[in-house]
């Protein structure tokens, strides 16, 4: 199973979801991309610290721009925000049947996972914890499926 997470810059939400999912479903091939990623962008320390607090210690990561081939290879594509999902569904309609809003797949609740990159302290932790719980619920649902829904 190939799982793709997409967000804005690929240094916070999609990267965290990738690493959380890898810890939950180690047999899956999990990767992440950004709509506006740039290799010059770096993972903030608060993201690494949050993951470490959950015993997740990822390898070094390079912010990576989404390419059509990434969508073609994925079995499941998860977007953090409805606007990302809408953009990709319009631009790459041929892959729309495997695209989901992460919270909708996890909880059948259409809710954006807001970008916590500019948040600090408790506000960041709260939003990161929401992403953790949503990704964890997604992993539980995926563990029952071997093919796209």
pTM (predicted TM-score): 0.95
Q: What CA–CA distance (Å, rounded) separates 95 from 88?
A: 9
Q: Which residues make Cβ contacts (< 8 Å) with residue 60, sequence separation at least 6?
A: none
Domains of the chain are 2-142 (3.40.50.2300)
HSE value, Cβ hemisphere, 13 Å, CA-based, for 71: 21
In the DSSP assignment, the letter for residue 134 is: H
Strand partners, 6: 33, 79
Residue 9 Cα distances to 34, 71, 108, angstroms: 5, 17, 25
Residues 17-70 have pLDDT tens digits of 999 999 999 999 999 999 999 999 999 999 999 999 999 999 899 999 999 999
């Amino acid at each position: 199973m190939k799982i793709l997470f997409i967000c804005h810059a690929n240094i916070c939400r999609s990267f965290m979801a990738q690493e959380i999912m890898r810890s939950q479903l180690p047999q899956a091939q999990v990767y992440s991309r950004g709509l506006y990623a740039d290799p010059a962008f770096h993972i903030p320390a608060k993201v690494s610290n949050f993951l470490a607090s959950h015993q997740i210690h990822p390898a070094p990561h390079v912010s990576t721009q989404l390419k059509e081939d990434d969508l073609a290879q994925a079995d499941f594509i998860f977007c953090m925000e409805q606007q990302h999902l809408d953009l990709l569904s319009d631009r790459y309609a041929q892959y729309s049947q495997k695209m989901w809003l992460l919270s909708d797949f996890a909880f059948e609740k259409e809710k954006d996972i807001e970008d916590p990159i500019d948040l600090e302290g408790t506000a960041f932790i709260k939003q990161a914890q929401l992403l953790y719980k949503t990704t964890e619920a997604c992993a539980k649902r995926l563990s029952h499926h071997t093919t796209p829904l």
